Amino acid sequence: MIRTSAIIADGTFPCNTAVLQGPCAETFRKAREAGFDCVQFTIRDVTDYDVQECLELMERYDLTVSAMATGRVYTADGLSMGSGDEANRRACVERLCALADLSLRLGKPAIVIGAVRGLLKDAASREEYYQQFDRSMKELVAYCEDLGVPVILEADYHLEADTYLHPAETMENDPSFQSPDLG
């Protein structure tokens, strides 16, 4: 069965990827009216969405939350999975783990790793970036695996990312953080 998902954002920031923007009550209603089965949150922190309201809206409109796009963790807060600054990298992983905890309350939507992976310039060298990114993914995937929360490594073009942009590159740099919960 194919399910369709609309990317949503709360409308408080510019967002080129969210097809529906505004308060949750509005975006959930519009998603259902447009025939979508799911919504994907654009999220930077666990406080971005009122969980109880979302659960009520999910029930009212018979929608699920399919995924949580985490790019704003990087674009708004500057936390990078590949950062050469260990405190920054660790804070990024902690934030993503907190989002995984939130995922449990929302039916286990996937954690999407896109722009949050950061840029090569976030580390002193390409090698350091990939070492730090690999370390971050191992930690995140292990945490999410214990929760049963899927993690998706996005292999597409972003203005905010310069690694793992294409499927071939992702496969070529096949990291060692493989897991059944990594898509």
Interval 71-117: pLDDT, tens: 999 999 999 999 999 999 999 999 999 999 999 999 999 999 999 99
Alpha-carbon torsion (145, 109, 37, 54), positive or negative: positive
If asked whether residues 82 and 60 sit together in one domain, one would say no
If asked whether residues 137 and 182 sit together in one domain, one would say yes
Predicted confidence band at 3 (pLDDT cuts at 50, 70, 90)?
confident
What is the distance between the alpha carbons of residues 3 and 52, in angstroms, rounded to a whole number?
24
Classified as helix, coil or strand, 67 is strand
What DSSP character marks residue 182? B
If asked whether residues 43 and 54 sit together in one domain, one would say yes
Structural domain boundaries enclosing 28: 1-68
φ and ψ of 11, to 5 deg: 85, 5
Mean pLDDT throughout 165-171?
64
Q: What is the pLDDT of residue 95?
A: 99
If asked whether residues 30 and 110 sit together in one domain, one would say no
Residue 176 has pLDDT above 60, yes or no: no
What CATH number should be reported for the domain holding residue 171?
A: 3.20.20.150
Residue with more model confidence, 116 or 170: 116
φ and ψ of 171, to 5 deg: -70, -40
Q: What is the pLDDT of residue 103?
A: 98
Please count the structural domains in the chain. 2
If asked whether residues 77 and 131 sit together in one domain, one would say yes
If asked whether residues 2 and 85 sit together in one domain, one would say no
- Pairing between strand 110-113 and 64-69? parallel
If asked whether residues 49 and 91 sit together in one domain, one would say no
Interval 108-156: pLDDT, tens: 999 999 999 999 999 999 999 999 999 999 999 999 999 999 999 887 6
If asked whether residues 33 and 52 sit together in one domain, one would say yes
Q: Cβ(150)–Cβ(144) under 8 Å?
A: yes
Interval 4-52: pLDDT, tens: 999 999 999 988 889 999 999 999 999 999 999 999 999 999 999 999 9
Q: What is the pLDDT of residue 177?
A: 54
With a CB cutoff of 8 Å and minimum separation 6, the contacts of 93 are 81, 136, 139, 140
